[in-house]
Structure 1
Amino acid sequence: MRNVYPGGISCIVCKGDWLLRLGVGPAYDRVGTKDSIMIRVPDHTVTGHLCDITGPLAITSANPSGEPDSTHHDMVISRLGHKIQGVLCDGDSNEVVASTVVNCLKIDEGTISIVREGCVPAIKVRQIFERVKSSML
């Protein structure tokens, strides 16, 4: 993860006590699935500053389940504006394609899988993974 963050990759990883050390507390059972959580560290100044102040944020995607990804704040407002109190925005996003989602649940076995190819091409993700894997041998 150090090799891809901040950036356009979301990693699905196993839940564990490390989440409690981050301060998730009673929300542990409400974030992610029973066994996993997706981590994203966007390359976005305002979000980075917010996380510097608050620590990690446990949030959902900015689109209703099963619908196309929201890549602009106007899309979020039109789809979810009736359910939310506000949108953090400092202008147009430089990301017009959603993040690439990588399943890292079997990374200890030396494998990853691409769940969704997004703004970072799958081939680049695999190159990074192979480079990191070979440096650890």
Structure 2
Amino acid sequence: MKFDCSVEEELDRGLLAAQAALEEGKLVVLPTDTVYGLAADAFSPQAVQNLLNAKGRGRDMPPPVLVSSATTLEALAVDIPSWLRTMVESLWPGPLTVILRQQPSLTWDLGETHNTVAVRMPDDARALALIKQTGPLAVSSANRTGEPAALDVDQAQDMLGGRVAVYLDGGPSQSDVPSTILDVTGTTPRVLRQGAISLETLHTFNNTIEPAGDPA
């Protein structure tokens, strides 16, 4: 099913259909502030495996988790530096993914995460509305591995087809630049992927952050 999110009534119906599909372990394509995302219930191991299968990706590439509030970070991660709390309060919602040690009490299975979790709060009202209804979602780019990330819902549908239960059509992507990925699990924080948030911006919160490509 595909829903036009530019029509308020259809957006409402689409969000309810997406919520129901996710609760049944099915997959949903949704717009974000970067490229389109492929979403699954983060707490359903089978749903996450369905996501990996749909993309043609192995468990060695676990999906990040999207949240609807910066405060959710406390429930998902441990050893959160104070400067990082300040950073996400300033830059979330937005294109910044942070990798932290996950809460040991979490019972999910996102793949081979080595007890870490990658978390982001997207700056897209439709995505946030869905996540508020469902709780944290495992979300990867809406494409088959090796193909370009989908910039509109039709591209996503061409690649993923019937593997996805609900497509939320939010029009063309706001940006084709991915999120910046910041790893804070080591002794020195390091950018793993340079994206929409510059190193200079990150340095305003912590000037010891190493750029992508530098040794840890």
Q: Does 1:103 align with 2:202?
A: no
Q: Distance in 2 between matches of 1:114 and 1:128?
A: 14
Partner of 1:133: none
Cα distance change, pair 126–81 in 1 and its aligned pair in 2 (3 A): farther
> Which structure dedicates a bigger proportion of its chain to strand?
2
One-letter identity of the residue aligned with 1:15: Q
State whether residues 14 and 36 of structure 1, in contact with CA within 8 Å, keep that contact through their aligned partners in structure 2: yes
CA distance in 1, matches of 2:199, 2:151: 19
- For 1:56 and 1:125, the matched residues in 2 are separated by 25
The one of 100, 112, 130 equivalent to 1:13 is 100
SS at match of 2:200: helix
Deviation at 1:84, TM superposition (A): 1.7
Maintained 8 Å contact 1:72/1:96: no
What residue is the counterpart of 1:125 in the other structure? Answer: 202
Partner deviation per Cα, 1:84-106 (whole Å, 9 max, x = no partner): 22322322221221111111212
Tell me, in whole angstroms, the C-alpha distance in 2 between the residues paired with 1:45 and 1:63: 22
Which whole-Å CA distance do the structure 2 matches of 1:105 and 1:51 have between them?
25
- RMSD between superposed Cα atoms in Å: 2.5
CA separation of 1:129/1:80 partners in 2, compared to 1, >3 Å: closer, same or farther?
farther
Structure 2 matches for 1:1-137, cutoff 5 A?
1-17=88-104, 20=106, 25=107, 28-31=108-111, 33-106=113-186, 109=187, 111-130=188-207
Amino acid corresponding to residue 109 of structure 2 in structure 1? D
| TM-score (ref. length: structure 2) | 0.48
**Identity over aligned pairs, percent:** 28
How many residue pairs get aligned? The number is: 121
Normalized against structure 1, the TM-score is what?
0.71
Deviation of the 1:68 alpha carbon: 3.8
